[in-house]
Structure 1
Amino acid sequence: MGNLRHSVFVTFFIPVMALLLIFQLTSSLYAKTAQAETHRVRVGLITNADKLAFKTTGKYQLINKKSGEIIANLKPGERWELTVNNNRMVLTKNGEPAGEFNDPLVVQGATATQVSILSAVTTISSNGSNLAALSGDGKVTNLGTDLSKYQVRSASGVQPMTAGNSELALITLEGPGNTKRYRGDMEFKISNTGQLVAINELPVEEYLYGVVPSEMPVSFGLEALKAQALAARTYALRAALNNKNMDFDLAPTDASQVYGGYDAESPMANRAVQETAGEVITYQGQLIDAVFFSSSGGFTDNSEDVWKNYVPYLRWKEDPYDKNDKHYNWVVYNTVDQLTNRVNQGLAQLGYQQQFGQVQALEEVARTSSGARVKAMRINGLGLDGSPLTVEVANADRVRVVLGLKSSLFTWEQQRDEAGNLTAITITGSGWGHGLGMSQYGARGMAEQGYNYRQILQYYYTGVDIVPNYGR
């Protein structure tokens, strides 16, 4: 989506009777915890590898996804490697053969969560999976994995809540140009092209830990990070609905939104996710397409001007909060040959068949509703065969792509020789990104002026609601 990237101490008093209820109704609690984790996403981390390897920290099992057979109880430090032979996955453990498989394999967290009551002291043991507490009125509170921030009131007073096994469960994935650690589970399978695929499946909240600081700098402040968390959560859950029949819901790049896994996490960003857990953005009861971008250049725009379709909550407005020195008044200079090459690359990227031998002029056709962005442009010149060629490009985001610019908010000057031939072009612009929805620099500006995350979101997305419990 974009190029942008502390934990608060909470005293949580759980009456002993409520804890006894948890102890007595452990299976019910687990069922409710599992229900809370049905909001899971699948991220296609790697889709075309010849070889993949993984290690684990914490308790994991390797399972045949189709049969449910447990292939191995994984131990920390073991290195498992997968290659492909005759459309079968070949598995090795520390360099030794460990089997061949047609079915997908899943590295899955072992379930070993337990609650015990010992006299007046309460201890919660976990393998790293989220825990939840059930209060006397039946309310389920997600405790997450960091129990150190909670306290328990018992007959002997306030006691710290401790984890008997606090080791965080992580999977280290080694792939082409990628060695990172991830929460959740990992599925390995063979694609239709005979290559290895790695898919990370995990609760959406844990996924957001790796997204928010990858998409927005943590220096932007807590309220801006909370706004980013809601936008990213809403975007991810909508993608999961739209792609439920696909192998995975999201890519880890800006083709979806940037996801850096555990190694990208930040305490401040995690706090933003935790303090907004379950909150999403809706329009007339439906999850919105919560698109966002880096910098508006002073204006957002209408969806039908930038992309194609009318979207009622993606409306243009002035953006006085987006102020930065990084993405304003940038200049791009191209000679006519450089411009021709750039235009040809952009046309090919957009699927046009036409190619220029030489670009001779750029002509503005229309601007967006805000008046800030170039909505349509006519490119005049000579084709590869030397005959006259004119190509019109619309809408605004396609104009940005065809010229290779950070934004479609720009003006230009064309330099010509004495004979009137185009020799060069100087483009001056502001902003970075498509210009629809939330500006990340604008969110920072609003936060610095004292606006909270709800106000930020309701400014950039017109007529939306902020609702709890994933919009259910």
Structure 2
Amino acid sequence: MKQRTSILYLCIAIFWQIGCASVMVTNWVPDDSNFKERPVRVLLGYASEEEIFKTTGELIVKDANDLTIKRAYDFLSLNPTAIKAPISIQSNAEWIEYKGISYRGTILLKPINGKVFIINLVPIELYLLSVVPSEVSASWPKEALKAQAVCARTYVVKEMLNRKKQEFDVDTSTNTQVYKGKNKEHKNTTEAVFETEGLILIHKGQPIQSFFHSNAGGYTEDPANVWGNPVEYLKPVPSEYDKDGDQYAWEDKWKTDYVNQSLRDLGIGEVQDIVVANRFPTSRVNELEIIGSTGTKKIKATEFRKKIGATKLKSTRFGIRKEDSGDFYVKGLGSGHGVGMSQWGSFAMAKSQFNHKEILQHYFKGIEFARIVSK
């Protein structure tokens, strides 16, 4: 009987592995026939003084009609006050250096309402060569890097679709995706990008909002509880592998002066106490009651985190108490908003032999895998 049972379990395991390995990949055809050739528009910043661009070789400045208006070798200086119409800077090398960071593609300088936007125009796959190692360590297991590549590709594609009438698609910070230019590229993450080339996540035929964060602290969160909008494929899921990653558990102590300064605009005087009013089913805090010397206010935990600062309050899965000294002791789990893929969860899952598709299917429910193809 034991032998039959062992054989049964072996057959189930083999079937499960074959099923996971053969996840169907469909095609996603954008409405815009030129979408695959369209570059990502990355906002690098705004010109405020003389701007210097460098490369090894020739720098070519062109106007909006693609006519060359200036050439320089190795070094180019531009005064933003003199820029009255969009210009682009190209290089015969594969990069342009700006403020110590080398960027692939083209640099666009575009004056709008008194500001000169500095935008990097770079193909999607080349953009990802920097984003993936900027978001996670290149030393991570290959399947975690591939999961991050697919997640990041899907995210930027969705932003490109949503923001096509805006001046840029993404910036270089955690507001969108971290992007540190060519300097950050690494062969491990480059391989992960190339091996998943064009692969994105879709739901009902369209790219999803593939949010991700550092560590879910054991359970992901419903976006309705973070931003107010429910999303069908972003339901909370257990993320037990988080415990093996950085920033799973943390604690901090906040000085009274820091708390008072951070919450001064609530208009309730000196903060006397901070009490958790209620929690979501995932155990993240929903609301807190701030008790002041001149009044009491209830505040959403997401707003409270903004006021205190995300580096001080790493997630809303926390507890807080006031100590005899008047300082506040805080202890929590996880780091980030908690929606979508936990990066440290994906790391630990990859170490436990889950592949990138299995990782993504765990965090995004009811999704399909698709390749971007032209019409």
Taking structure 1 as the reference length, what is the TM-score of the superposition?
A: 0.68
Aligned residue in 1 for 2:87: 105
Aligned residue in 2 for 1:51: 50
Indicate conservation of the 8 Å contact 1:52/1:196, yes or no: no
Structure 1 position 72, deviation (Å):
3.7
Larger RCO (alpha carbons 8 Å, 6+ apart): 2
Measured in 1, the distance between the counterparts of 2:335 and 2:308 equals: 14
Structure 1 position 470, deviation (Å):
5.8
Question: Aligned letter for 1:237?
Answer: V
Measured in 1, the distance between the counterparts of 2:360 and 2:285 equals: 26
Structure 1 position 364, deviation (Å):
1.9
Which of 216, 223, 248 is residue 136 of structure 2 equivalent to?
216
Gaps of 5+ in 2: 1-32
Measured in 1, the distance between the counterparts of 2:335 and 2:173 equals: 17
Aligned residue in 2 for 1:412: 320
Is residue 399 of structure 1 aligned with residue 304 of structure 2? yes
Structure 1 position 322, deviation (Å):
1.1
Is residue 185 of structure 1 aligned with residue 91 of structure 2? no
Runs of 4+ deviating beyond 4 Å = 34-37
Structure 1 position 323, deviation (Å):
2.3
Measured in 2, the distance between the counterparts of 1:466 and 1:43 equals: 25
Which of 46, 67, 71 is residue 69 of structure 1 equivalent to?
67
The 1:362/1:170 distance shift into structure 2, 3 A limit, reads: same
Aligned residue in 1 for 2:126: 206
SS in 1 for 2:164: coil
Measured in 2, the distance between the counterparts of 1:48 and 1:368 equals: 44
The 1:341/1:36 distance shift into structure 2, 3 A limit, reads: closer
Structure 1 position 103, deviation (Å):
1.8
Structure 1 position 277, deviation (Å):
0.8
The 1:73/1:238 distance shift into structure 2, 3 A limit, reads: same
Which of 147, 151, 161 is residue 241 of structure 1 equivalent to?
161
319-328 or 450-459: which moved more? 319-328
The 1:59/1:284 distance shift into structure 2, 3 A limit, reads: farther
Structure 1 position 325, deviation (Å):
6.0
Q: Greater share of strand residues, 1 or 2?
A: 1
Structure 1 position 109, deviation (Å):
5.6
Gaps of 5+ in 1: 1-33, 90-101, 111-167, 345-352, 383-387, 418-422
The 1:207/1:50 distance shift into structure 2, 3 A limit, reads: same
Output aligned runs, 1:296-445, within 5 Å: 296-324=216-244, 326-344=246-264, 354-370=266-282, 372-382=283-293, 388-394=294-300, 396-404=301-309, 405-416=313-324, 423-445=326-348
Indicate conservation of the 8 Å contact 1:302/1:314, yes or no: yes
Structure 1 position 59, deviation (Å):
6.3
Aligned residue in 1 for 2:77: 81
Structure 1 position 227, deviation (Å):
0.7
Is residue 279 of structure 1 aligned with residue 187 of structure 2? no
Structure 1 position 201, deviation (Å):
0.4
Measured in 2, the distance between the counterparts of 1:201 and 1:427 equals: 43
SS in 1 for 2:175: coil
Cα deviation, 1:294-322, whole Å, max 9, x if unaligned, reads: 01111111111122111111111211111
The 1:233/1:59 distance shift into structure 2, 3 A limit, reads: farther
Cα deviation, 1:246-299, whole Å, max 9, x if unaligned, reads: 211111111111101111101111111111111111111111111111011111
Structure 1 position 223, deviation (Å):
0.7
Which entry has the higher C-alpha Rg, 1 or 2? 1
Measured in 2, the distance between the counterparts of 1:192 and 1:36 equals: 28
Taking structure 2 as the reference length, what is the TM-score of the superposition?
A: 0.84
Aligned residue in 2 for 1:261: 181
Which of 351, 354, 366 is residue 451 of structure 1 equivalent to?
354
Question: Aligned letter for 1:233?
Answer: R
Question: Aligned letter for 1:310?
Answer: P
Indicate conservation of the 8 Å contact 2:214/2:344, yes or no: yes
Measured in 2, the distance between the counterparts of 1:397 and 1:180 equals: 33
Indicate conservation of the 8 Å contact 1:44/1:200, yes or no: yes
The 1:37/1:55 distance shift into structure 2, 3 A limit, reads: farther
Is residue 171 of structure 1 aligned with residue 96 of structure 2? yes
Question: Aligned letter for 1:431?
Answer: G
Structure 1 position 413, deviation (Å):
2.3
Measured in 1, the distance between the counterparts of 2:149 and 2:54 equals: 29
The 1:74/1:48 distance shift into structure 2, 3 A limit, reads: closer
Cα deviation, 1:363-416, whole Å, max 9, x if unaligned, reads: 22221121x21011121113xxxxx3222222x432332343011111122234
SS in 2 for 1:199: strand
Question: Aligned letter for 2:295?
Answer: L
Paired residue total: 340
SS in 2 for 1:318: coil
SS in 1 for 2:147: helix
Indicate conservation of the 8 Å contact 2:245/2:348, yes or no: no
Question: Aligned letter for 1:275?
Answer: E
Identity, in percent, stands at: 33
